[in-house]
Amino acid sequence: MNELFERLAALPRQKKIAVLAGAILLLLTVDYLYLFSTLATEIGELEQKVDAAKTDRDRKKALVANLPQLRALKVELEGRYKEAIAQLPDQKEIPDLLMNISNKARESGLDILSFRPKVENPQEFYAEIPVDVTVRGGFHSLVSFFDEVGRLNRLVNINNIEMKNAKPNDDQAIVDTTALVTTFRFLTDAERAKIAAEKAAKEKAKK
């Protein structure tokens, strides 16, 4: 190192100035490159934050623009929910509903041979209440009964219709008709909690 300083000291004045200027320029270049690298990193991070902020702003603008449609959709869904509630009675209404279905059969001119409610089939928030029904009467009376049931303000499905023992009677045939009449009811909070617990226990047992 001393030898280097001695050699520099022995240089003419102009060369000394040139070497000193070169050293200063080198230091400035290194310092600039370091500073530029640091700033470039910070600028990149700031640009990412700005882009994220713009994206979030645009998303919020879209939500605000769609707010009237979302409110209208909310009102529509609430209306549908209320309609569903109106069509699904609670437990205390089921006997009256089944009696109403039975009366509709008689009013349509059918004789009820059997009317046997079966075991309920609970789902997630409602229970299916199936009833095996056997009636006897003319085809037009049967159609009238099905139509009257369809007009009830409660949800009632009629499936597995089977006709047999047709016998002529004046201008129409008298038949025995069996069908599965299914209505529905809302489960209570306690019933839903019990079903959820049983489902969780079964899933845990599988593991």
What is the SS3 string spanning the chain?
CHHHHHHHHCCCHHHHHHHHHHHHHHHHHHHHHHHHHHHHHHHHHHHHHHHHHHHHHHHHHHHHHCHHHHHHHHHHHHHHHHHHHHHCCCHHHHHHHHHHHHHHHHHCCCEEEEEEECCCEECCCEEEEEEEEEEEEEHHHHHHHHHHHHCCCCCEEEEEEEEEEEEEECCEEEEEEEEEEEEEEECCHHHHHHHHHHHHHHHHHHC
101-156 pLDDT, tens per residue? 888 889 988 999 988 888 888 887 788 889 899 999 888 888 898 888 888 877 78
Q: Chain-wide mean pLDDT for the chain?
A: 75
Domain region containing 2: 1-65
Specify the pLDDT at position 61.
Answer: 73
Task: Tell me, yes or no, whether 85 lies in a domain.
Answer: no
pLDDT at 14 over 60: yes
Task: Tell me, yes or no, whether 79 lies in a domain.
Answer: no
pLDDT at 8 over 60: no
Task: Tell me, yes or no, whether 197 lies in a domain.
Answer: no
pLDDT at 59 over 80: no
Same domain, yes or no, for 101 and 14?
Answer: no
Task: Tell me, yes or no, whether 95 lies in a domain.
Answer: yes
Give me the number of domains the chain comprises. 2
